[in-house]
């Protein structure tokens, strides 16, 4: 029996370590993360709103959020829409989702034929769920753009179909959950606190590398350190300064908390984005506060910057 158990554990270890997305042997040359939008919702500067693009083997594969202006950055990056597999939405505020319909319309003029997967959180009084969001955009009867309804209708012809899945947001289950798995990617998620708005953070495992995204969150559920554990790259939103009060501090993380997440998760490189007027000119203060708990690399990216894990 002991020999059988030993053989089973040995076989399991081989399976895990040879998995194309198993963490611990990051093939950084194959993977890159590109910033499509590093700003927030303000009409502040030339930055696009939130959006990130994950490349594998020089092909654009996953878009994380699609804020205003991020589609233009997608074009500038040289990415090809037919190569995309997945859209991940942290939540459905305008500055994270407004460009989705433009992506889909633009995709009509490409050679795409594979289904496109879209994932996002459930809704509540203030925002729609992922499935409701896509339906409200594209449905034939009630959509904002009903002429694009063939992309979601099984009864109409289109070159590709949108496959949308709503991920339940709940503070009652704070476990890390699998979202999507294929031959290249393992994607996991967890609920995070963004005031009254359902929101998710994501962890993407690819080619042995780990890249995690906080999205907009206050940190009150304390779920991010486990999700981001041993991440090669952590994209964290730095929308407010340490002294923020009122509504902003109920929606977003303070720099000191970002440092605690990065430190506890043993992150290799921290990328601070979603910059807003109240945080963009306080980078020195932010770095000092983060370094109280995290001694790794800290970067404030610009749109179109590229990072290898």
Indicate the pLDDT class of residue 24, thresholds 50, 70 and 90: low
Domain count of the chain?
Answer: 1
Does residue 23 have a pLDDT over 60?
Answer: no
DSSP string over 166-199: EEPP-SS----EEEEE-SSEEEEEEEE-BTBS-E
181 or 2, greater pLDDT: 181
Task: Please report, to the nearest 10 degrees, the dihedral formed by the alpha carbons of residues 255, 257, 261, 264 taken in order.
Answer: 120
SS3 content of the chain, % helix, strand, coil (to 5): 30, 25, 45
Asked if residue 19 is part of any domain, the answer here is: no
Q: Is the per-residue pLDDT at 58 higher than 90?
A: yes
| DSSP notation for 70-118 | HHHHHHHHT--GGG--EEE-S---HHHHTTHHHHHHHHTTS---S-EEE
Q: What is the pLDDT of residue 14?
A: 37
Residue 18 has pLDDT above 70, yes or no: no
Does 21 score more than 80 pLDDT? no
pLDDT above 70 for 51:
yes
Q: In Å, what is the CA distance from 86 to each residue of 81, 128, 186, 306?
A: 11, 19, 12, 19
Q: Is residue 5, in this structure, part of any structural domain at all?
A: no
* Assigned domain for 187 exists: yes
Residue 21 lies in a domain: no
Reported as a single tens digit per residue, the pLDDT across 94-141 is: 999 999 999 999 999 999 999 999 999 999 989 999 999 999 999 999
CATH code (residue 273): 3.60.15.10
Tell me: pLDDT of 241 over 80: yes
User: What's the predicted TM-score (pTM) here?
Assistant: 0.92
Do the domain assignments include residue 57?
Answer: yes
Burial of 268 (0-12, 13-18, 19+ CB in 10 A): middle
pLDDT, position 213: 99
Residue 209 lies in a domain: yes
Interval 153-208: pLDDT, tens: 999 999 999 999 999 999 999 999 999 999 999 999 999 999 999 999 999 999 99
What letter would DSSP give residue 212?
E
Q: What crossing angle do the helices spanning 130-138 and 100-107 adopt, rounded to 10°?
A: 60
What is the number of other CB atoms lying within 10 angstroms of the CB of residue 163? 13
HSE toward the beta carbon, residue 241, CA cutoff 13 A: 10
d(CA 288, CA 24): 30
Residue 22 lies inside a defined structural domain of this protein: no
pLDDT of residue 230: 98
Two tokens at 252? 């977003």
Is 267 domain-assigned?
yes
**CA–CA dist 299, 281 (Å, integer):** 14
Residue recorded with tokens 């030339």:
46
Confidence category of residue 44, pLDDT binned at 50, 70, 90: confident
Instruction: Give the pLDDT mean for 222-249.
Output: 97
CA dist 25 → 16, 18, 33, 234, 244 (Å): 11, 9, 17, 17, 40
Is residue 307 within 8 A of residue 32, CB to CB? The reply is yes
Parallel, antiparallel, or unpaired: how do β-strands 162-167 and 185-192 relate?
unpaired
Tell me what pLDDT residue 5 has. Answer: 41
Expressed as residue numbers, the domain containing 164 is 30-307
Query: What are the Cα distances from residue 23, in Å, to 9, 27, 120, 191?
Result: 18, 10, 24, 22
> Percent of the chain at pLDDT above 90?
91
**Please, are residues 119 and 89 in contact by the beta-carbon 8 Å criterion?**
yes
Mean pLDDT for all residues in the chain: 93
- pLDDT value at residue 147: 98
């Amino acid at each position: 029996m002991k020999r059988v158990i030993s053989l089973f554990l040995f076989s399991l270890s081989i399976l895990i370590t040879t998995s194309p997305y198993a963490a611990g042997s990051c093939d950084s040359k194959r993977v890159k993360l590109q910033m499509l939008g590093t700003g927030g919702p303000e009409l502040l500067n030339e930055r696009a709103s939130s959006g990130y693009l994950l490349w594998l083997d020089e092909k654009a594969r996953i878009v994380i959020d699609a804020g205003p202006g991020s589609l233009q950055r997608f074009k500038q990056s040289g990415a090809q829409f037919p190569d995309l597999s997945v859209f991940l939405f942290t939540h459905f505020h305008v500055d994270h989702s407004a460009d989705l319909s433009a992506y889909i319309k633009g995709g009509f003029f490409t050679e795409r034929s594979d289904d496109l997967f879209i994932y996002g959180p459930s809704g509540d009084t203030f925002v729609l769920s992922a499935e409701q969001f896509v339906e409200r955009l594209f449905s034939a009867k009630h959509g904002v753009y009903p002429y694009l309804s063939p992309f979601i209708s099984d009864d109409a012809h289109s070159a590709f179909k949108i496959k949308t899945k709503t991920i339940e947001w709940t503070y009652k289950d704070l476990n890390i959950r699998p979202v999507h798995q294929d031959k290249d990617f393992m994607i996991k998620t967890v609920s995070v606190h963004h005031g009254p708005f359902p929101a998710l953070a994501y962890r993407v495992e690819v080619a042995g590398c780990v890249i995690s995204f906080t999205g907009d969150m206050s940190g009150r559920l304390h779920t991010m350190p486990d999700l981001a554990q041993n991440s090669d790259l952590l994209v964290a939103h730095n929308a407010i300064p340490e002294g923020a009060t009122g509504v902003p501090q109920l929606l977003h993380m303070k720099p000191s908390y970002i440092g605690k997440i990065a430190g506890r998760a043993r992150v290799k490189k921290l990328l601070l984005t979603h910059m807003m007027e109240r945080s963009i000119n306080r980078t020195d203060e932010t770095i000092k506060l983060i370094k109280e708990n995290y001694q790794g690399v800290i970067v404030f990216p610009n749109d179109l910057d590229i990072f290898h894990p």
